């Protein structure tokens, strides 16, 4: 056992844990920050887009010192057919000032954010795995690590151990994943000369662009992404685990096939794959969110399911929840009360924040995917939309009226008839409007 006691112990130096540690250390608490990786971010994976807003509330103008890649001024959404795409996008110079979001790489970003917590006084304990929580009289009073004399005691333990939170499971607030609550993402980082990236994506200097796409994922519920970094491109796809199981397709097979799509192939041509990684994404959202605190503990970020899959927001929810947990911990420390009575304030704060409200808005999405056939939603419908667009734009002498009828018919039959199309529209509308 380590002799030293801490006011707070944070497990996991991802965005949630480092934000919590930074908040508490800046508030004068004695904080230990434990991370299993060789250093924070060493093995962490995300898309990734970092958002200005939530971190700015913690570290003003953070993007001026943090290792970011590009400032995003254009976001595109693609609906892919077999060899076609229907695209939407928005580009706006206004996204420059104030900036809205950035591309980043976790290896650098997590290290930087944890470094801020260290500088604020948090004691780094890296390459160390927390194996279990230590309980006394029904309260969490510390953590057991995999090091010799590895027990560490503290008044509050903050769990920020990510999507597969073993500690959350041990508390019983985090159940085993159901295959329809989680998707498996694979990602490649592809190196390309800076000029090529800027030409291919229509960008200047530090401007960046994001592309998200659905369709062409073998009829499985999935979302793909392409993000521009300084001299690399992040390309990946996340697919619902139950669909992968059903279709017996490996995620990298999906990625390989997507790389051949004519709209994508050219963007990455000549690039060298530098890194390959995989990670789970919690998709359960609002309905799978556990209780967030108890006697001596609070849980934040992915460990508490705080991912808004529709808007690919995760790091910002993680950071915001870490900050709130940190603030509640400071109050609890001042009051000398670490019971659920004091820490329950965290649940209430999260409830009134954007985290709870945004996740609640989309709570129907999970049910929609569950109910709907992925083949329809992610296979035949995107294809039908592409076919309709093709017909509509093809100049072949057919009367426009007939063309319109044909286009609508294509969509209808893909959905399984008039009523089905209507029902789907309604369901979809409800799912994204809480």
Partner 1 sequence: MLHIVACIKQVPDSREIRIDPKTNTLIRQGVPAIVNFYDLHGLEEALRIKDEYGARVTVVTMGPPSADKALKLCVSMGADEGVLISDRAFAGADTLATSYVVALAVEKAAQEWGPVDIVFCGKQTLDGDTGQVGPGVACRLDYDQLTYVEKVEHLDEAKKEIIVHRHLEDGVERVKAKLPVLITALAELNKPRRAGLPGVLKAGRYQPVVWTTNDFPDIDRSKIGLKGSPTIVGKTWVPEPKKVETQMLTAESTAVLAEQLIDSLYATELPAKLGWA
Contact partner at residue 13 from partner 1, ligand FAD, none, CB < 5 to 8 Å by partner kind: ligand FAD
Per partner kind, with CB cut-offs from 5 to 8 A, the member of partner 1, ligand FAD, none near residue 3 is partner 1
By CB under 6 A, residue 16 contacts ligand FAD: yes
- Residue 176 carries which DSSP code? P
Q: 63 CB contacts (<8 Å, ≥6 apart)?
A: 52, 71, 99, 102
Burial (Cβ within 10 Å: 0-12, 13-18, ≥19) of residue 43 = middle
The dihedral sign for the CA sequence 116, 318, 138, 351 = positive
State the nearest-atom distance from the C-beta of 13 to partner 1, in Å. 13
Q: Would you call 387 helix, strand, or coil by DSSP?
A: helix
CB 6 within 8 A of CB 152: yes
The entry of partner 1, ligand FAD, none near residue 2 (CB within 5 to 8 angstroms by kind) is: partner 1
Task: State the nearest-atom distance from the C-beta of 70 to ligand FAD, in Å.
Answer: 13
Question: Which segment (11-19, 199-207, 347-355, 361-369) binds ligand FAD by CB under 6 A?
Answer: 11-19
Dihedral sign (CA 24, 27, 30, 36)? positive
In the list 99, 168, 236, 296, the residue contacting ligand FAD (rule: CB under 6 A) is: 236
* Nearest-angstrom CA–CA distance, 109 and 14: 9
Residue 238's binding partner, choosing from partner 1, ligand FAD, none, with beta-carbon cut-off 5 to 8 A by kind? Answer: ligand FAD
Q: Is-contact 349 331, C-beta < 8 A?
A: no
Residue 416: exposed, middle, or buried by beta-carbon count in 10 A (0-12, 13-18, 19+)? Answer: middle
What minimum distance in Å lies between the beta carbon of 274 and partner 1? 9
Question: 76 near 212, Cβ under 8 Å?
Answer: yes
Name residues contacting ligand FAD, limited to 115-134 (CB under 6 A). 129-130
46 forms part of the interface with ligand FAD (CB under 6 A): yes
Q: What are phi and psi of 213, to 5 degrees?
A: -140, 150
Among 47, 115, 168, 215, binds ligand FAD (CB under 6 A): 47
* Closest among 159, 94, 115, 108 to 133, alpha carbons compared: 159
Q: For ligand FAD, which stretch binds (CB under 6 A), given 301-309, 357-365, 367-375, 426-434? A: 301-309
Nearer CB in complex with partner 1: 128/349? 128
Answer with the entry of partner 1, ligand FAD, none that 151 interacts with (C-beta below 5 to 8 A by kind): partner 1
The footprint of ligand FAD on residues 302-361 (CB under 6 A) is 302-303, 307, 312-316, 318
Q: Number of residues in contact with ligand FAD, rule: CB under 6 A?
A: 40
Could you say whether residue 11 binds ligand FAD (CB under 6 A)? yes
**Candidates 37-45, 60-68, 194-202, 284-292; binding stretch for ligand FAD (CB under 6 A):** 37-45
Cα-Cα end-to-end distance for the chain: 48
Complex with ligand FAD: residue 347 or 387, whichever CB lies closer? 347
With CB under 5 to 8 Å by kind, the binding choice for 134 among ligand FAD, partner 1, none is none
> CA-CA distance, 259 to 397, in Å (whole number)?
35
For residues 146 and 256, which CB has a smaller minimum distance to partner 1 in the complex?
Answer: 146
| Backbone conformation region of residue 393, classed left if phi is above 0, alpha if psi is from -120 to 50, else beta | alpha
Choosing among ligand FAD, partner 1, none, which partner's interface includes residue 150 (Cβ < 5 to 8 Å by kind)?
Answer: partner 1
Residue bearing tokens 């499985």: 220
Is the distance from CB of 101 to CB of 52 less than 8 angstroms? yes
Q: DSSP class of residue 389?
A: H
Q: Which listed residue (185, 328, 329, 342) binds ligand FAD by CB under 6 A?
A: 185
Q: Which of 30, 36, 70, 259 binds ligand FAD (CB under 6 A)?
A: 36
Interacting residue ranges for partner 1, rule: CB under 8 A: 2-4, 32, 38, 123-125, 128, 145, 147-152
Tell whether residue 228 is a contact of ligand FAD (CB under 6 A): no
- Smallest distance, Å, CB 22 to partner 1? 15
Per CB under 6 A, 81 contacts ligand FAD: no
Q: Which is nearer to ligand FAD, 107 or 431 (CB)?
A: 107
In a 13 Å sphere around the CA of 129, the CA atoms on its Cβ side amount to 4
Q: Quick one: which of 118, 161, 387, 391 contacts ligand FAD (CB under 6 A)? A: 161
Angle at the Cα of 308 from the Cα atoms of 319 and 209, rounded to 5 degrees = 85
Whether the upstream peptide bond of residue 98 has omega within 30° of 0, thus cis, is yes
Binding site for ligand FAD (CB under 6 A): 11-17, 34-37, 44-49, 129-130, 160-163, 166, 185, 187, 236, 238, 279, 281, 301-303, 307, 312-316, 318
């Amino acid at each position: 056992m380590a002799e030293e006691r801490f006011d707070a112990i944070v497990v996991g130096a991802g965005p949630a844990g480092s934000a919590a540690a930074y908040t508490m250390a800046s508030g004068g608490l004695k904080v230990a920050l434990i991370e299993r990786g060789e250093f924070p971010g060493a093995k962490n994976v995300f898309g990734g887009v970092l958002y200005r807003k939530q971190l700015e509330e913690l570290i003003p103008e953070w993007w001026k010192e943090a290792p970011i890649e590009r400032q995003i001024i254009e976001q595109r959404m693609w609906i892919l057919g077999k060899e076609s795409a229907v695209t939407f996008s928005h580009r706006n110079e206004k996204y420059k000032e104030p900036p809205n979001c950035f591309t980043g790489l976790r290896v650098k970003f997590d290290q930087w954010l944890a470094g801020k917590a260290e500088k604020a006084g948090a004691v780094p304990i890296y390459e160390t795995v927390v194996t279990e929580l230590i309980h006394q009289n029904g309260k969490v009073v510390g953590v057991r690590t995999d090091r010799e004399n590895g027990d560490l005691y503290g008044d509050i333990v903050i769990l920020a151990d990510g999507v597969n939170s073993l500690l959350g499971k041990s508390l019983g607030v985090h159940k085993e994943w159901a295959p329809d609550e989680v998707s498996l993402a694979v990602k490649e980082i592809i190196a390309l000369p800076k000029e090529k990236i800027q030409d291919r994506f229509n960008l200047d200097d530090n401007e960046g662009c994001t592309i998200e796409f659905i369709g062409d994922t073998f009829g499985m519920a999935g979302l793909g992404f392409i993000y521009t970094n300084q001299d690399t491109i992040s390309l990946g796809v996340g697919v619902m685990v139950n669909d992968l199981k059903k279709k017996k397709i490996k995620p990298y097979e999906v990625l390989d096939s997507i790389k051949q799509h004519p709209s994508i192939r050219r963007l990455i041509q000549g690039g060298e794959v530098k890194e390959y990684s995989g990670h789970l994404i919690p998709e359960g959202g609002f309905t799978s969110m556990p209780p967030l605190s108890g006697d001596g503990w609070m849980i934040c970020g992915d460990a508490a399911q705080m991912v808004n899959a529709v808007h690919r927001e995760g790091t910002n929810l993680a950071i915001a929840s870490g900050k709130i947990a940190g603030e509640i911990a400071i109050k609890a420390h001042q009051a000398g009360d670490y019971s659920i009575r004091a820490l329950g304030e965290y649940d209430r704060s999260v409830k009134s924040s954007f985290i709870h409200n945004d996740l609640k808005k989309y709570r129907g999405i999970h049910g929609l995917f569950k109910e709907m056939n992925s083949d329809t939603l992610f296979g035949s419908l995107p294809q039908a939309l592409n076919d309709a667009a093709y017909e509509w734009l093809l100049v072949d002498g057919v009367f426009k009226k007939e063309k319109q009828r044909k286009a609508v018919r294509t969509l209808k039959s893909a959905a399984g008839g008039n009523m089905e199309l209507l029902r789907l529209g309604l369901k979809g509308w409800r799912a994204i409007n809480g």
